Chain A
Amino acid sequence: MRPLPANFIIGAVLVLLVVGVAALSLVWTPHDPTTLNIRGKFGEPTPLNWLGTDQLGRDIVSQLMAAARNSMTVALVAVLLGGSIGVALGLLASAIGGWVEDIVMRLADLGFAFPALLFAIMLAAVFGPSLTNAVLAIAFINIPIFARVARASANQIWTREYVLAARAAGMNKLAITWDHILPNIAAVVIVQATIEFAVAILAEAALSYLGLGAQPPASSWGRMLSEAQTLMYLAPDLAIYPGLCIVIAVLGFGLLGDGLRDITDPRLARAR
C-alpha cells in the first residue's frame, strides 16, 4: 500500500485533537464554562485554571472546550444540511438534464456570485442573530457548492457503461441515481464536505465575532475573540487562545480534505 500523504496525517491528527476535545467537553470540563468569579478575573495560569481566567473570572480551558463543541456542532449540522440539499439538487439536475439542469446551475452560479461569508453575514443579519440562524446561513452558502460538485461528478457517471446496462435492465432514473450514481460520487462529496467543514468553522467564528452567531452565555471562539479585542493590551492571551483554536481546527480540516482528495483521486496518486 502507498504511504499516506503527509497532509492527510497532519490533518487527521489535528482533527482528532479538536473533535476529541469537543467530545470530552460533553461529559467533562475542568470547570463550568459559564460560572463567573469576578474576584478571580484575569487570573494567571494555575494548576486549577490551566490557562487562567478571563475578564469575568471564567475558566478559559473550559470555555475553549465548550466552544469547540459548539463549533463542531454548528459546522456538522450546517455542512450536512447544506450538503444534502446541494447534492440532491445536483443529482436531480444531472438525472433530468435539459432546462431543469440549466435552472439549478444558474441558481448555483447566483450563489457563487456573492462572497460566501458576506452572504452568511447578510442572512444572519436579516433573520436576526442566533446560533440557529447562523447554522442556516452557513448551510445555505454550502448548497451551490455541493450542487455543482455533485452534478459535475454525476454527469461523468451517467456516461458509464454500467449505467447503460442498468437502463437496459429497465431501471428508472431515480433507481439508477440511488444505486449507481450516488455511491460513485460519494468520495468526491466526502472530500468536499471535509473542506467545507473548515470553511464552516471559520464562518461560525466570523459570525459569532460579529455578534451574529452564538449569543451569551454560549461559548464560541469567535465571541471570545471579540470580547478579548477591547482588552488586547491588558490581557493579550485572551485573544491568542481562541485564535489558536480556530487556526488548528480550520487547518486540520483543510489538510484532511486535501489529503483525502490526494488519496481518492487516481490522477494525483499517479503523479505522486
Chain B
Amino acid sequence: MFEMQNMTVRFSIGEALRGVSLRIAPGDRLGIVGESGSGKSMLAACLMGMVPDAATIDGTLTIDGTNMTHASEAKWQTIRARRAAMIFQEPMSALNPLRRVGDTVAEPIYVHMGLNKAQARDRVLGLFEEVGIPDPASRFRMFPHELSGGQRQRVLIALALACDPQLLIADEPTTALDANIALKITDLLVHLSQSRNMALVFISHDLSAVARATTDITVMYGGDFVERGVTAEVLSNPMHPYTQGLLAARPSPRAVSRDANGSRRRLPTIPGTVPPLHKMARGCRFAGRCALERGECASVRPLPFGPRRITCHAVSEEMT
C-alpha cells in the first residue's frame, strides 16, 4: 500500500507538485494523464524516491506503513525493485548498449534475492516467458541493438518485474512504440497487473492507451490533480475545463473530415502552452489558458470539489 499525503516537490524556480494526495492499493490500475511538464514524471520519481537532490519535499509518503518521505538512499534501495519498480519511455536508451539483456535483468535478482548464477538465469528465462519474449534462452545472450523496440520494452518490463514488485510504474511505456506494438504492451501490463495482483500506475498522454489499461484516472496540470475518477466516466464525461480540452484535442477520423461548408475541420487545441514553473499562476494553474476563467482564478487556488475532486472555481460553483 502506497500512500501520499499532501506531497509537494519544490524547486528554486517553482513547485513541480503542489500538495497532491494519492493512495495505491494492490491490484489498482491508475492512469495519470497530462501534458509534458504537468508533473506526471515527478509523481513517479516521488514514488521511487528518485526526486532530484535540488528539490525539497513536503508532505508524507508511506509505503506499507513505513514513512519514506525523507528516507535515505540506502533505505530506498530496499524498496526499489522489491516494492516499486519502473519502466521507461524509450526502451533503447533505458538499456545499457554494452550489456547482454539477460545480464541486465539478472542484476537486481543477484543483488536483492541472493540467488546464484544458475538460479538467477532460470528466473530471468521465466520472466522473459511471462512477458512474452519468444525463445528466451537465445534472447538472454543478445544485446539491446539486436532486439526490436517491442522486444526491448518487454525486456524492460522483465527487469521491472525481476523482484516481484507490488507496484509497477510505467512512465509513458508506449510513446516510443508503433500503434500495434503499443497495444500489445498495454495489454501485457494489464495482464501482469491482474495475474500478479500488482498495482499499476500508467503514465501517458495517450488517452486511448490509458482507457484500455486503467480503471481509475487522475488528470494532472501544473503539478495539481485537476480531476480524478473512474477512467470510463472521466473520459466519457469530462468536467474540468482542462480535461475537456485534452479530450477535444484528441485526433479522430472525424477531426479530419469536412464540415457543412466543405472546408476541413481543424483539430481543436488548448490555447497557449504550459508556462514554465516560475511563470505559473498562483491560483489555478490553468488560468490564462482556460475558457471559463474569471477574476479570482489566477490568484485564488481552487479546492478539490465533489466526487471527482475537481479543482475549478467555475465548475464547483455550477455544481452547488
Contact = CB atoms under 8 A, between A and B. Distances in A.
A184 B160 CA distance: 22
Given A175-B107, A183-B98, A184-B98, A168 B93 contact: no
B77 A165 contact: no
B93 A160 contact: yes
Contacts, number: 72
A161 B112 CA distance: 21
Given A161-B94, A162-B93, A165-B159, A171 B107 contact: yes
A180 interface: yes
Contact size range, B: 20 to 34
Nearest to B156: A165
A171 B162 CA distance: 12
B80 A167 contact: yes
A164 interface: yes
Interface in A158-191: 160-162, 164-172, 175, 179-180, 183-184
Contacts of A166: 96, 107
A183 B97 CA distance: 10
B159 A169 contact: yes
Nearest to B108: A169
B303 interface: no
B88 A184 contact: no
A183 B93 CA distance: 15
Contacts of B104: 162
B81 A170 contact: yes
B162 A169 contact: yes
A162 B107 contact: no
B117 to A, nearest CB: 15
Nearest to B44: A168
Given A161-B88, A161-B90, A164-B88, A169 B95 contact: no
B95 to A, nearest CB: 6
B17 to A, nearest CB: 19
Contacts of A162: 93-96, 104
Contacts of B88: 161, 164-165
B159 A164 contact: no
B284 interface: no
Nearest to A160: B93
Contacts of A165: 86-88, 94-95, 156, 159
A183 B99 contact: yes
Interface string B24-49: 00000000000000000000000010
Nearest to B89: A161
Residue of A170, A183, A184 ringed by the most chain B CB atoms within 10 A: A170
Contacts of A167: 50, 80
B66 to A, nearest CB: 16
Contacts of A179: 96, 99, 107
B111 interface: yes
Contacts of B269: none
A170 B88 CA distance: 15
Contact of A170 (B94, B98, B99, B112): B112
B99 A169 contact: no
A183 B143 CA distance: 14
A171 to B, nearest CB: 7
Nearest to B78: A170
A106 B97 CA distance: 33
Nearest to B74: A172
Contacts of A172: 73-74, 77, 111
A180 B96 contact: yes
B85 interface: yes
6 contacts: A162-B104, A170-B78, A170-B79, A170-B163, A171-B111, A183-B98
In the A-B complex, list the 3 residue pairs whose CB atoms are closest, starting with the nearest: A170-B81, A170-B80, A168-B86
